Structure 1
Amino acid sequence: MDPKHSVLVVWDVQNALVNGIFNKDHFIGSLKKLLSEARSHKVPVIYTKITPLPFEFESGYRLYSSMKRYGISDPKKISFMKPGSPEAEIYAEVAPVEGDTVINKNTADIFVGTNVELMLHNARIDTVIFTGIATEFGVESSARSAGNRGFYPVVVEDCVSSSSEEMHSAALKVMRTQVIVAKSDEIIQAWK
């Protein structure tokens, strides 16, 4: 986890998601500390933001998935993370600072539809450290995708969360068999 070859990803830490997680205070406290340490060790920070496609360009599957997840029967009533809305903004206590990168994306994989892989290769980064929401959705799928692309994926156990503690725990259990799962203090110690 050499800081010169690592990146810290802050996955979808947007108001609507942060306000619905089971461990908000602990999650925010751990993430703030990790962000501070990352910046002091010059580890680049990439934030992601859910940025839905316009309705007419959204896939049928993603509409179905959103309808199922939010209990909506009419896909035109989906208003989740509307760009510019307060719910879509990054949570203020852990907001980006000058020098951080913000990636707008519309899938649960940091590499699909973005230039993140190219960016990481250009910066000679081989370790991708994941934090954010939701553990069982974008964090898990992006960590797997990072590994499939030859990166070392690391999931920070106390800096990921979900609206469901059960799903969060299940995802961490599965990921422990495939990626590096570590606590923020272990990451910070490795940087020193």
Structure 2
Amino acid sequence: MTLPLSGRRAAVVTIDLHRGHLDPQVATMPLPADAAARVTKANAEFLREVRNQGVPVVHVVTSYRSAAEIASNPWWAAVADTGASRSNAMRHQLPGSPGLQLMPEVYEADYDLVVDSKKRYDCFVATDLDHVLRSRSLDTLLLTGVNTNSCVLATAVAANTRDYVPVVVEDCVDTMDRHLHDAALAVIRQAFGWVAPAQDVLEALGDSR
């Protein structure tokens, strides 16, 4: 399916490309080290190219004031300290944590915008992401980041319901739940948006200018 970028105003929206997922030394919910390195490198390369094309970059980062904000979600409270992949939920992205920092490879301070108030899987909930996008007349979201089957999926669905164009950059997303990565992309592709490799997205961006 052709990417619908012609006549659109696109921004890259990265999701949780922070040390809390991607730096094995400090991560509270780490991806496997090889996956973390791979997705960090892929994002760094993709973001460098889109900046060269003048595409805005918005990083959305999970951050909590306290564990109580996390525990107010019944699911996270239920799986905390169990065998679930999110069992460390109550210790994830708390004040003072080095996990709150974006991976340095993906962040360009003089160019990128940061929305650092994300509380839930959906990047629009309890953040000013919608305002950031609409105030700049941006209508297309090139989604990258972590985790494919939770935050990326939820944000693609939310973008669809708000009438944005969601495009998931498939080699720039990954998940702790690796067995669900492809299934999440299939769900998005079937009902909510587009899924394409970075090279195809870059070529479509070039053709749309």
User: Shared topology, TM-score over 0.5?
Assistant: yes
Aligned to 1:190: 204
Q: What letter is aligned with 2:11?
A: V
How far did 1:62 drift?
5.4
1:96-111 alignment runs, 5 A limit: 96-104=108-116, 105-111=118-124
**Which residue, 161, 171, 174 being the options, matches 2:184?**
171
SS of equivalent residue, structure 2 residue 195:
strand
How far did 1:91 drift?
1.2
**Which residue, 8, 12, 20 being the options, matches 1:16?**
20
Q: Which moved more, 1:158-167 or 1:90-99?
A: 90-99
Q: What letter is aligned with 2:12?
A: L
Q: What letter is aligned with 2:74?
A: Y
Runs of 5+ in structure 1 lacking a partner? none
Work out the percentage of aligned pairs sharing the same amino acid. Answer: 26
Higher relative contact order structure (alpha carbons within 8 Å, sequence separation ≥ 6): 1
Please give the TM-score of this superposition, normalised by the length of structure 1: 0.88
SS of equivalent residue, structure 2 residue 170:
strand
1:12-91 alignment runs, 5 A limit: 12-18=16-22, 19=24, 20-22=30-32, 23-58=35-70, 59-61=72-74, 63-64=76-77, 67=80, 68=82, 69=84, 70-71=86-87, 78-91=90-103
Aligned to 1:92: 104
Runs of 5+ in structure 2 lacking a partner? 25-29
How far did 1:31 drift?
1.0
Partners of 2:108 and 2:14 lie apart in 1 by: 9
SS of equivalent residue, structure 1 residue 13:
coil
How far did 1:169 drift?
1.6
Q: How many residues align?
A: 188
The root-mean-square deviation of aligned C-alpha atoms, in Å, is 2.1
Sort the Cα spacing of 1:172 and 1:57 in 2 relative to 1 into closer, same or farther, 3 A.
Answer: closer
